[in-house]
Amino acid sequence: MTTSDAFISIRSVSKFFGGFRAIDDVSLDIGQGEFFSLLGASGCGKTTLLRMLAGFESTSSGEIFIDGQPMSEVPPHRRPVNMVFQSYAIFPHLNVQDNIAYGLRKQKLPVARRLEMVEEMLDLIKLSGYGSRKANELSGGQRQRIALARALILRPKVLLLDEPLGALDKQLREQMQLELRALQRQVGITFVFVTHDQEEALTLSDRIAVMSGGRVLQVDTPAGLYEMPKTREVASFIGNMNFFRGTVRRNGSAMAAVETEGLGTIPIPVEQITKPDGAPVQVALRPEKFALSATRPDGTLAVEGRLRTAAYLGERSHFYVSIEGKAEPVAVSTPNISRGLDRADSQSGQALWLSWSPDAIVILDTD
Amino acid sequence: MAETSLSKSRTARGAPRAFGARLTRYLRRSETARGYLLMSPTLLIMTIGIVVPFIILLVISMWTRQGFSFDTTLTLANYARAWNEPIYGALLARSFWISGVATVATVALCYPMAYYVAFHVHRNKMMWLILMTLPFWTSYLLRVFAWKVILGYEGVINSGLSAVGLIDAPLAFLLYSPSAVIITLAHAWAAFAILPLYVSLEKIDKSLLEAATDLGDGPVARFLRITLPLSMPGIIAASFLIFIPTTGDYITPALLGGPDGAMIGNLIQVQFGAVNNWPMGATLSIVLMLWIAALALAFLLVTCKVQERIA
């Protein structure tokens, strides 16, 4: 994505709280209609960045553009964005209908039209008939939807969501994720979504920015982030990952390989690696990319190991396998296609073979 | 109460141990009974200290004065007098006017202070509140006298203004006037306004203010639509806390009010003192009480209506 067609453009933005650097030179482009997530552990700066988009925090340096307009001089109540707060911030002295219509007051609409719009929103969030309920008569999920409706009724160019599902229980959260995603497609508004839950970010987003220490580590699609993390930090934040130290081996320009501790020499397509011969690299492999077998499988890369521990998790099982040349055991995750953990090779100390396909490996920038 | 005594009389016939056990079981089961048990000391004091004296007052108000003693036949003659003689109505109206203005002034002046501490002070909030209630650490009488010194004929304001050359003769209207009473009451009761206002403002979730801003409200609209309605309980509490006691106040008007600043409290005091017409004093007290109740009710209704309108 280039700067020119970016709908939200964050240009070299930093934010200091006293001497603390909350946001460290962040540049991001978000496209129109995109479901974009800011993902990171608490304190990584994701909420600060969101609040800067809303206008509740000023930028210490840099500029934010929304739809081509610089935002630094625009106060929060004049920005073309609306926010869904983590606490939902439902006005306790107003009923559902007045909460949803709150922002319409400025538009000086006839009362009938306003009610009609509120009814449409109630319909959209599947709460028709709840208009006269008081805020304290609502459940968490209902409050969340009303906060959403209250923002969406204003047709903002961008909807900002600050961990809106964090307070819900697991089942409701999963249901709301689906609804949120469907709603976003339906209304076509750009969503910027803050979460610390990587699974939620993967499920919902078109693209995700992984943040840490006020910086953006990587911006990519969910699959891109999961399958091709650039750094060890990103790789370990999203899902589980096995890391191996390796050395680049080049043989002219046709072939390249990585000599990896424990896994031997793995051939790599030349274009995947820019490092010169002999350079140290980090090699990463997801636990589910390994296959386990009792005997050496034919035709794939494989290495023999010894089972340390096995855990049955229902839909899948986790194994920790020691291999020669690597101190920590390798984590392996396999789907339980057959019933239960009834494998003959699941006893501790059992010898077994690990195999993987060479295109499953990830070469990380060393850090 | 009725439930507890009923269960007691039913269980009293049994063995004492069984009675204790049954009472415990009853209390565990019935939330109402537990509530009354918790309230009972207060309830006792309320009965002895308020209900009984009130009944006495009510009875006295229906007596009449006969020379130096009281005729104890019950009659509503005093109430008829209070209704018909214009002096009582006039004093009552002036009392409500003075304490009404003092209440409005106090709440209006204290609101910004409470607002500031609630929203803009982040450290040592307690210290700020204590500093604001500092005047309360001295006696009420002392504070009233202090205002006498400030507002007096040769007081701080007059001598200051004439020293600067702004006035030739001292301003006479400062002391011994309704405005002197209003100023003094507003200052003396400030702490009663600041604390409830502060509590109600402090309770407002800051994200509600951000949400209102986010939904397009500027600072003024946000204040009128969110902060003010949500702090209404504090405003109502502060208004009641000031209006009710100041209406019947007699120290401040006696010391600072002069002839034009006298209030109903002064008249009641005189009835129980120099005039020695206790029945009339009691009548006026009850009339005052009824009026305050009516005004408080009207005030509550109006604020409810206004709140609905704002929403």
Q: Are residues A65 and A127 part of one domain?
A: yes
Using CB atoms, pick whichever of B207, B225, B307 lies closest to residue A85. Answer: B207
Contact between residue B271 and residue B281 where contact means Cβ atoms under 8 Å apart: yes
Task: Dump pLDDT digits (tens) for A59-106.
Answer: 999 999 999 999 999 999 999 999 999 999 999 999 999 999 999 988
Instruction: State residue B299's pLDDT score.
Output: 87
On whether residue B204 sits in a domain, the answer given is: yes
Q: Are residues A232 and A255 part of one domain?
A: no
On whether residue A1 sits in a domain, the answer given is: no
Q: Are residues A151 and A20 part of one domain?
A: yes
Query: Average pLDDT for residues A199-224, to the nearest whole number?
Result: 94
Q: Are residues A311 and A191 part of one domain?
A: no
The percentage of chain A sitting over the pLDDT mark of 90, rounded to a whole number, equals 50
For residue A339, what pLDDT band results from cuts at 50, 70 and 90? low
For residue A179, what pLDDT band results from cuts at 50, 70 and 90? confident
Using CB atoms, pick whichever of B208, B230, B311 lies closest to residue A89. Answer: B208
E strands present in chain B: 64-66, 69-71
Instruction: State residue A1's pLDDT score.
Output: 44
Where on the phi/psi map is residue B176: left (φ > 0), alpha (ψ -120 to 50), or beta? Answer: left
On whether residue A2 sits in a domain, the answer given is: no
Contact between residue A76 and residue B213 where contact means Cβ atoms under 8 Å apart: yes
Instruction: State residue A135's pLDDT score.
Output: 84
Higher per-residue confidence, B30 vs A235: A235
Q: Are residues B215 and B109 part of one domain?
A: yes
Using CB atoms, pick whichever of A78, A87, A154 lies closest to residue B207. Answer: A87
Higher per-residue confidence, B102 vs A340: B102
3-state helix, strand, coil in chain A (%, to 5): 25, 35, 40
Using CB atoms, pick whichever of B205, B212, B217 lies closest to residue A87. Answer: B205
Instruction: State residue B173's pLDDT score.
Output: 79
Using CB atoms, pick whichever of B205, B214, B230 lies closest to residue A83. Answer: B214
| SS3 state at A183 | helix
Whether residue A344 has pLDDT greater than 60: no
Does A92 sit within 8 Å of B230, measured CB to CB?
yes
Chain B contact for A103, CB < 8 A?
yes
Instruction: State residue B11's pLDDT score.
Output: 46
Whether residue B133 has pLDDT greater than 70: yes
Instruction: State residue B309's pLDDT score.
Output: 65
Nearest to A74 by CA among B221, B208, B216, B207: B216
How many contacts, defined by CB atoms under 8 Å, are there between A and B? 59
Structural domains in chain A (count): 2
Task: Dump pLDDT digits (tens) for A35-65.
Answer: 999 999 988 999 999 999 999 999 999 999 9
Chain B contact for A150, CB < 8 A?
yes
Whether residue B98 has pLDDT greater than 70: yes
Chain B contact for A83, CB < 8 A?
yes
On whether residue A291 sits in a domain, the answer given is: yes
Instruction: State residue A3's pLDDT score.
Output: 44
Using CB atoms, pick whichever of A76, A87, A94 lies closest to residue B214. Answer: A76
Does A56 sit within 8 Å of B217, measured CB to CB?
no
If you average pLDDT over every residue of chain B, what do you get?
Answer: 87
DSSP B233-279: HHHHHHHHHHHHHHHT--HHIIIIITGGG--HHHHHHHHHTTT--HH
Instruction: State residue A366's pLDDT score.
Output: 66
Query: Average pLDDT for residues B255-265, to the nearest whole number?
Result: 88
Q: Are residues A230 and A85 part of one domain?
A: yes
Chain B contact for A76, CB < 8 A?
yes
Query: Average pLDDT for residues B35-53, to the nearest whole number?
Result: 90
Q: Are residues B254 and B115 part of one domain?
A: yes
Nearest to B148 by CA among B191, B199, B190, B184: B184
Q: Are residues B172 and B109 part of one domain?
A: yes
Instruction: State residue A220's pLDDT score.
Output: 95
Q: Are residues B251 and B106 part of one domain?
A: yes
Q: Are residues A209 and A181 part of one domain?
A: yes
The C-alpha of B219 sits at a distance from chain A's nearest C-alpha, in angstroms, of 9
Structural domains in chain B (count): 2
The C-alpha of B247 sits at a distance from chain A's nearest C-alpha, in angstroms, of 32
Does A77 sit within 8 Å of B216, measured CB to CB?
yes
Task: Dump pLDDT digits (tens) for A276-324.
Answer: 888 888 899 999 999 888 888 887 788 989 988 888 888 888 899 999 8
Measured between beta carbons, the chain A residues lying within 8 angstroms of B210 are 54, 56, 76, 83, 85, 89
Q: Tell me the C-alpha distance between B197 and B199, whole Å.
A: 5
Last residue of a domain, one of A187, A220, A236: A236
Q: Are residues A263 and A160 part of one domain?
A: no
Chain B contact for A56, CB < 8 A?
yes
Instruction: State residue A124's pLDDT score.
Output: 86
The C-alpha of A236 sits at a distance from chain B's nearest C-alpha, in angstroms, of 34
Query: Average pLDDT for residues B96-114, to the nearest whole number?
Result: 95
Instruction: State residue A64's pLDDT score.
Output: 95
Measured between beta carbons, the chain A residues lying within 8 angstroms of B217 are 77, 106
On whether residue A129 sits in a domain, the answer given is: yes
Q: Are residues A209 and A175 part of one domain?
A: yes
Does B307 sit within 8 Å of A150, measured CB to CB?
no
What does the block give as tokens for B113?
Answer: 């202070």
Does B211 sit within 8 Å of A91, measured CB to CB?
yes
Instruction: State residue A2's pLDDT score.
Output: 43
Measured between beta carbons, the chain B residues lying within 8 angstroms of A105 are 216
Q: Which residue of B has its CA nearest to A151?
A: B215
Does B215 sit within 8 Å of A98, measured CB to CB?
no
Per DSSP, A365 falls in state P
Q: Tell me the C-alpha distance between B292 and B264, whole Å.
A: 12
Range of the domain at A42: 8-236
Instruction: State residue B311's pLDDT score.
Output: 54
On whether residue B233 sits in a domain, the answer given is: yes
Higher per-residue confidence, A18 vs B209: B209
Q: Are residues B135 and B16 part of one domain?
A: no
Instruction: State residue B8's pLDDT score.
Output: 47
Instruction: State residue B15's pLDDT score.
Output: 61
Q: Are residues A149 and A56 part of one domain?
A: yes
Using CB atoms, pick whichever of B214, B218, B226 lies closest to residue A91. Answer: B226
- The domain that holds B97 is classified in CATH as 1.10.3720.10
Q: Are residues A269 and A209 part of one domain?
A: no
Higher per-residue confidence, A36 vs A179: A36
Q: Tell me the C-alpha distance between A191 and A82, whole Å.
A: 10
Task: Dump pLDDT digits (tens) for A230-258.
Answer: 999 999 888 899 999 888 888 776 778 88
| SS3 state at A134 | strand
On whether residue B52 sits in a domain, the answer given is: no
User: What is this model's ipTM?
Assistant: 0.82
On whether residue B177 sits in a domain, the answer given is: yes
Chain A contact for B308, CB < 8 A?
no
Q: Are residues B91 and B29 part of one domain?
A: no
On whether residue B72 sits in a domain, the answer given is: no
On whether residue B275 sits in a domain, the answer given is: yes
Segment 213-232 of chain B within 8 Å of chain A by CB? 213-218, 222, 225-226, 229-230
Q: Are residues A250 and A228 part of one domain?
A: no
Higher per-residue confidence, B174 vs A254: B174
Out of A140-149, A215-224, B10-19, B233-242, pick the least confident: B10-19
Whether residue A342 has pLDDT greater than 80: no
Q: Are residues B250 and B125 part of one domain?
A: yes
To test the contact with chain A by mutation, choose from B200, B210, B215, B235 the residue with the greatest count of A C-beta atoms within 10 A, namely B215
Q: Are residues A298 and A188 part of one domain?
A: no
Query: Average pLDDT for residues A322-347, to the nearest whole number?
Result: 77
Using CB atoms, pick whichever of A77, A94, A151 lies closest to residue B217. Answer: A77
Range of the domain at B21: 2-43
If you average pLDDT over every residue of chain A, what do you get?
Answer: 88
On whether residue B61 sits in a domain, the answer given is: no
